[in-house]
Structure 1
Amino acid sequence: MKIKLNSNIAKRTISNIIVVSVGIILFFIIKNLGGIFNKVGEIIKLLMPFIYGFSIAYLLAIPLKFLEDKVLKFMDKKNQYKAKRFISITITYISAAILISIIFSILVPELSRSIYTLLENIPEYINALEEYINNIVIALNLNGDMVEDIVKDFNSISKYITSIAGTAVLDLFQFSANITQYILNIFIATIISIYLLAGKEKFFAQIKKFLYAMLPEKPVKYVIELTRSSHKTFIGFLGGKLLDSLIIGIICFVGMKIFKMPYPLLVSFIIGITNVVPVFGPFIGAVPSVIIIFIASPIKALWFILFILVLQQFDGNILGPKILGNSTGLTAFWVMFAILLGNGLFGVVGMILGVPTFAVIYSIIVSVINNALKEKGLPVEAKEYAAPENKIKF
């Protein structure tokens, strides 16, 4: 006897089985989340040379394309393609190596000297600061209990600063111990990046071939278009942010030199590097910078606070918008959300890459929503869904 199943019942049964299966899988994933993260961490650690290699190739693809399209355009004949690519890669990597060498030869000795001088002079600075506080106490004629409290607080701060200095030295030694592994990873990554750049068209063609074989044509075209727009977003944001941070670092150095503030190169380096982090970067860089200057000269630390506030206002309202424009298409709320989420998941790197990454995800979601609304014959503008009495401008 054959039993005929209603098509709706069959569909519902299959849906229930899928939901239950997904639920069981999610349960085991959540239950073993710690172990999964550890395994993922181990895999990522093994793949780090490839991740570095892809990153290097991604960055150097821009000057490589410029060389091939503009400088070596005369080598467009088919039989000259390999020679053209070889020359372009050679010039790109030699130029990058020279640029990095120049930067390191200028920055590293000065930074090392500044850090060494700072650590060497900390006891002297603390004694001078203690004498300065004692003079203030005498001038204000403070009572004994209050003086005792101030001394206790000052001693605590002194111990804390000394411990920070000690920790910094230990971290430096730890970094030196791991430097061999870093150099090895970068060396392997450089070789990988050369292979990627040498055959980048072939790699892209193979990926497209795989996608067209596995997926329908329409989704593949969407993925390709999405990849192009994502590339523009990343390059536009990261390139603009790096240029913005470089300019801010230079302005900070010049300003500190003019006002004769201590450790101008060290502080400007910190300000420039941390400025790469959107929104929170200026505050992250300002705190250690103020502490460093305060140890040497409390009065100049106050002037530095005023100077850095003016500098950040200039960056936030004039320089940043001029360079970056609206490269991400995100509102201030979503920028903040992306930074906090990126920091929670991947730390400082997540804070830097969180905004362009989230911008890509956001554009995908908006595109999907807009397409769904168009298919239903509904408007895509958010203001069309606001209450009539709503006076807020969109």
Structure 2
Amino acid sequence: MGVNNVKIQWDKQYLKYALYGSFAIILSVIFYQILDNIASLLDSISDGFLWVRRMLSPFIIGAFIAYLLNPGVRWFEKKLYSRVVYISERKTLHRLISILTVYIILISFITMLIVFVAPQINNNIREILRRVPEYDRITRQWLSNWEKEIGVENLYDFAEHIEKNSKEIFDKTSQVLEYILNNIFVSVMTITSGVLNFLLALIISFYMLSDKEGFKVGGEKFLRAMMKDETVDRIKDFGREADDLFGKFIIGKSLDSFIIGVLCLIGLKIMNIRYGLLLSTIIGVTNMIPYFGPFIGAVPVAIITFFDSPVKALWVILFILGLQQFDGLILGPKILGNSVGLRPFWIIFAIVVGGKLAGVLGMFLGVPIFAIVRLLVMRFIDRQLERKTMEKLEKNQV
């Protein structure tokens, strides 16, 4: 008896549905597993980024140092050493001497801060901490006298409420100052990933400055190999504008704040104000924050001075207001000009958003970063409008 060969006829429609169903089940399982393990996956990604950042931190810091020092190197090359015939005729020597000059200035400045400025600020903070109980007692006494003089002992218990909380306020202030005092050097070490990383970053920045043209040429070749020439040209134009905007703001604002800090120190010394170096440092550092910086710095300066002498505190406030007017009307425009091209509303917006996202550093960097984002958006809008205009012209011609 012969066995009949049975040929199975597959329905292609059923096979397609079966494959779709299998894929759907497999994808659902994969998606569920990803959701179930998303915390560990995010931790792994975060650990990977941290590892890469630690490994590349000397290069990141070195690139940042080179970026900040580049305008100084360029100035010495073009304005000073170009006038010395022997140096200007030797390109390598010209660049080397310019870089060494900037590094000598930088290292001298850092040494001066460590040897002269930091110990005095440290002593000022320690003395303020020692006098916190005295400040607390003065505040309580002043509130009590004020309460009796205006006759509000039984009205709202306002002074009593402040007295109850004054001790807590001073205790928290002491804790903040102690934290700053005990962790300032630790924080610096953390930011630079230690002294070794910082020294390595200085060496890397030296070579970046020495061969900055080589890096530019190499980067441009890579971009032209990956993109259209028109796109690369647009990126170069945008990069030049962003660099000009960001560099002018960072370096200009730093120079402006340094001058304001020095002028403030001179003024406080003339008025014989205690803790002059610490207070002028606060004014100089907070001046880095546009608009809000002067007010942020004036508050602690006025409070600290008030406990020594209310009259001197009033003179200090008037002096700081005058100094800020000088900065806003004369010094700032002279150094910065219209470096970011933002209206006051957008500057305040950038400061508030930057502060929410990254604290004090965000308040400072928010303005130039927002200005760069604005530049990018405006370029995109201009290209879109230009394209629409061209399309209209082509339609009209047809």
Report the TM-score when normalising by structure 1: 0.77
User: Aligned-pair distance for 1:156?
Assistant: 1.8
Does structure 1 residue 154 correspond to structure 2 residue 163? yes
How far apart are residue 269 of structure 1 and its match? 0.7
One-letter code aligned to 2:182: F
Number of residue equivalences = 348
Structure 1 residue 241: deviation in Å? 1.2
Tell me by how many angstroms 1:275 deviates: 0.6
C-alpha displacement at 1:281, in angstroms? 1.5
Q: Is the 8 A contact 2:351 2:364 kept in 1?
A: yes
Q: Distance in 2 between matches of 1:275 and 1:205?
A: 38
Q: What is the CA distance between 1:226 and its match in structure 2? A: 1.5
Alignment partner of 1:51 out of 56, 60, 71: 60
Q: Which amino acid in the other structure matches residue 56 of structure 1?
A: I
CA contact 2:81–2:94 (8 Å) conserved in 1: yes
2:165 equivalent to 1:123: no
For residues 356 and 168 of structure 2, the distance between their equivalents in structure 1, rounded to whole angstroms, comes to 31
Q: 1:179 to 1:69 in 2, by over 3 A?
A: closer
For 1:32-85, what per-residue CA distance to the aligned partner results, in whole angstroms no more than 9, with x for missing partners?
A: 7965667545644543322221111112222222333344433345xx443443
By how many angstroms is 1:198 displaced? 2.1
Deviations 1:245-303 (A, max 9, x none): 12322332333334443322211110111111112212222232233223333444344
C-alpha distance in 1, partners of 2:173/2:52?
34
Aligned to 1:329: 341
1:377 alignment partner, SS class: helix
Task: Could you tell me which runs of 5 or more consecutive residues in structure 1 were left unpaired when the two chains were aligned.
Answer: 1-23, 379-394
Note the 1:121-270 alignment, pairs <5 A.
121-143=131-153, 145=154, 150-177=159-186, 180=189, 181-270=193-282
Preserved contact between residue 137 and residue 147 of structure 1 (Cα < 8 Å): no
The superposition leaves residues 289-325 of structure 1 with CA deviations (integer Å, 9 ceiling, x where unpaired) of 2332233334443443444334334433443233322
**Corresponding residue number in structure 1 for 2:100:** 90
**In structure 1, distance between residues paired with 2:46 and 2:349:** 23
Q: Given that residues 262 and 280 in structure 2 are in contact (C-alpha distance below 8 angstroms), is that contact kept between their aligned partners in structure 1?
A: yes
Gaps of 5+ in 2: 1-30, 391-398
Q: 1:308 to 1:91 in 2, by over 3 A?
A: closer
Q: Secondary structure at the match of 1:349?
A: helix
Q: Secondary structure at the match of 1:376?
A: helix
Shifted more, 123-132 versus 357-366: the winner is: 123-132
Query: Aligned partners of 1:335, 1:44: CA distance in 2, in Å?
Result: 31
Identity of aligned residues (%): 38
Paired AA for residue 191 in structure 1: I
Deviations 1:218-240 (A, max 9, x none): 11111112111112112222222
Which residue of the partner structure matches residue 344 of structure 1?
Answer: 356
CA distance in 1, matches of 2:356, 2:114: 31
2:74 and 2:225 mapped to 1: Cα distance?
29
Q: Note if 1:112 corresponds to 2:118.
A: no
Cα distance 1:218–1:120, how it changes in 2: closer, same or farther (>3 A)? Answer: same
Q: How does 1:5-16 map to 2 (within 5 A)?
A: none
Q: Tell me the secondary structure at the aligned position of residue 389 of structure 2.
A: coil
Q: Is the 8 A contact 2:129 2:177 kept in 1?
A: no
C-alpha spacing 1:136/1:299, structure 2 compared with 1 (3 Å): farther
Deviation at 1:131, TM superposition (A): 3.3
* One-letter amino acid matched to 2:293: G
Cα deviation digits, residues 79-100 of structure 1 (max 9, x gap): x443443333333212221132
Structure 1 stretch displaced more, 241-250 or 300-309: 300-309
- The one-letter code matched in structure 1 to 2:235 is V
Q: Which moved more, 1:284-293 or 1:216-225?
A: 284-293
Contact kept in structure 1, 2:351 and 2:362, CA below 8 Å: yes
- The 3 A distance-change label for structure 1 pair 248 and 141 is same
Partners of 2:42 and 2:322 in 1: CA distance: 45
- What is the alpha-carbon root mean square deviation over aligned residues? 3.0
Cα gap change, 1:149 to 1:348, in 2 (>3 Å): closer
1:210, distance to aligned residue in structure 2 (A)? 0.3
3-state DSSP of counterpart to 2:58? helix
| Structure exhibiting the larger radius of gyration computed from Cα positions | 2
The code of the aligned residue for 1:97 comes to I
Cα distance per residue 1:151-191 (max 9 Å; x no partner): 45224213321332133213432344455544233222112
Alpha-carbon deviation of 1:193? Answer: 0.7
